[in-house]
A and B are shown apart, each in its own frame.
Chain A
Amino acid sequence: MQGNTRRTGVMTDVHRRFLQLLMTHGVLEECDVKRLQKHCYKVHDCNATVEKLEDFINTINSVLESLYIEIKKGVTEDDGRPIYALVNLATTSVSKMASDFAENELDLFRKALELIIDSDTGFASSTNILNLVDQLKGKKMRKKEAEHVLQKFVQNKWLIEKEGEFTLHGRAILEMDQYIRETYPDAVKVCNICRSLLIQGQSCETCGIRMHLPCVAKYFQSSSEPHCPHCNDYWPHEVPEVFDPEKERETGMSRSNKRPSRSRQH
């Protein structure tokens, strides 16, 4: 969508099935996207050479352009795992959720979003969110119901829950980037390295600049003494490892165990 005139690709049933299935997920990790692509080739055209994922997605994006939809690539904020989400560029993103959620549920999401954005850590505790149920627009909601609704947001990959606290899922960040910048211009945080929206990350204790964990990992990859890229003061946080898809394949299913604990983030 960046204004460069891209040649419009040719859609085949392989692309269409891929798009349909991606749509039912909303967001997928790169390894699953590759699996999905392979599946679609198998169904429609076993003999065709599998297009490189990047080109394959570029083809789809070139025809999605006129519809103000895009398959956007991003990374998870905590461990830098690449994800792909189908995002909507023309309409307010909360409206996309409106077909799945009632008015009071949407308002609960907005309240949670606000707490997350305003927080220093990028997390809002469920207690703090649930304390706001009395102020919701629309039908009255009890706390028990609200808990259930929050779980629904997690299932639909709008929120992530860790130890009773909620943050935004990568899908929500990709989808709502613009909305969040426009709605909370004063509270919004930006990564000092990649300049994109930051919800959770590390921050310099001296000058206060913030960095995504994956950006921290890449930036300090080869330095034994990390210093703040802005004020050059000592960087007091643990530097996480760069995400490595190869290594990922070896460790296989252990992904839930290796999430960095939040205590060392700021």
Chain B
Amino acid sequence: MSQKPKSRGRPSSQVEREPGGGGEEAPSTSRGPGGAASQRRAQASPAPGPRSQKQLELKVAELVQFLLIKDQRKIPIRRTDILRHVVGDYKDVLPELLRRAAERLEYVFGYRLVELEPRSNTYILVNTLEPVEEDAEMRGDQGTPTTGLLMIVLGLIFMKGNSIKETEVWDFLRRLGVHPTKKHLIFGDPKKLITEDFVRQRYLDYRRIPHTDPVDYELQWGPRTNLETSKMKVLKFVAKIHHQDPKDWPAQYCEALADEEARARPQPAGPSPATAPAPTLSPVS
């Protein structure tokens, strides 16, 4: 990943320019005086005076709840939406609010607030607790069977040199009884799941390969995947399926090892609450 050395400023002027859509589905967590009506005041308000600790605490609480609710859908949370739906006229203290919310999320819930990519102004929550197999049982029917399919696709991409043609993915999945155009009992619409849902959640990148006729697309790992899991974890998952050892694929093993080492190195310090996150994408279920 290309990490630009430039420090992240506060790009407050860019924030409002983001393309519309998505905003209307966000919940309002602001209550208090004004309630929902105060949401849109965020942009134009003049710099207000200092707030009491109590006011800040309430804002942090709202922000934490907003992030928890939004994360349930696994769709990255945009800074614009945070500003519009929660922060309102507390915009000047946004970094402080984010810092305190990140601290609470990690201490109380075990979630790390991470910026998806440097300067992307989108955030996700990464679980610091290792998933265990019995968690799925504890979740009852609320588990996520789609994670298994995602892991298979991630494995496929990694084993094929970090990029794969969509047609190859379907050739492989067809052998497992998953067809792009046929409704699947568990995965519903597999084509939509892989090329839309996982893409929107940023587990996968999906782009058209230029100059192909008929048109073909390629799939790569998205930024969320690198935050929630690692090459080594995915390789181990693949090895387990094949009842083999990760070292049976020397090229991939070396690459995964190098990736582990790079992760272990301390990250360049930045104002973002993102630090080396623990992998959470579970190979189970």
Interface residues of A, Cβ cutoff 8 Å to B: 11, 13, 16-17, 19-21, 23-25, 35-36, 39, 42-43, 63-64, 66-69, 88, 90-92, 95-100, 102-103
User: Once bound together, how far apart are the Cα atoms of A91 and B65, in whole Å?
Assistant: 9
Within the complex, the shortest CB–CB distance from A31 to chain B, in Å, comes to 13
User: Once bound together, how far apart are the Cα atoms of A78 and B135, in whole Å?
Assistant: 30
- Residue B29, interface by CB 8 Å: yes
User: Once bound together, how far apart are the Cα atoms of A67 and B69, in whole Å?
Assistant: 14
Chain B 62-76, CB-CB to A under 8 Å as 1, else 0, gives 101100111011000
Contact A96 B138 (CB under 8 A): no
Chain A residue contacts of B138, Cβ below 8 A: 21, 35-36, 39
Q: A21-B135, A67-B65 are in contact. Are A99 and B27 (CB under 8 A)?
A: yes
Contact A13 B129 (CB under 8 A): yes
Contact B61 A66 (CB under 8 A): yes
Chain A residue contacts of B70, Cβ below 8 A: 99
Interface residues of B in 108-129 (CB under 8 A from A): 108-111, 127-129
Q: How many residues of B contact A (CB 8 A)?
A: 37
Q: A25-B140, A91-B62, A99-B69 are in contact. Are A16 and B27 (CB under 8 A)?
A: no
Query: Taking chain B's interface residues, is the majority helix, strand, or loop, or is none over half, making it mixed?
Result: helix
Contact B110 A63 (CB under 8 A): no
Chain A residue contacts of B69, Cβ below 8 A: 96, 99
Within the complex, the shortest CB–CB distance from A248 to chain B, in Å, comes to 19
Interface residues of B in 2-36 (CB under 8 A from A): 24-31, 35
- Specify which of A25, A63, A90 is in contact with B65 (CB 8 Å cutoff): A90
Within the complex, the shortest CB–CB distance from A178 to chain B, in Å, comes to 11
Contact B27 A19 (CB under 8 A): no
Please list 7 pairs of residues, one from A and one from B, whose beta carbons are closer than 8 Å in the complex, sorted by A's number: A13-B129, A16-B129, A21-B139, A64-B108, A67-B104, A99-B27, A103-B24
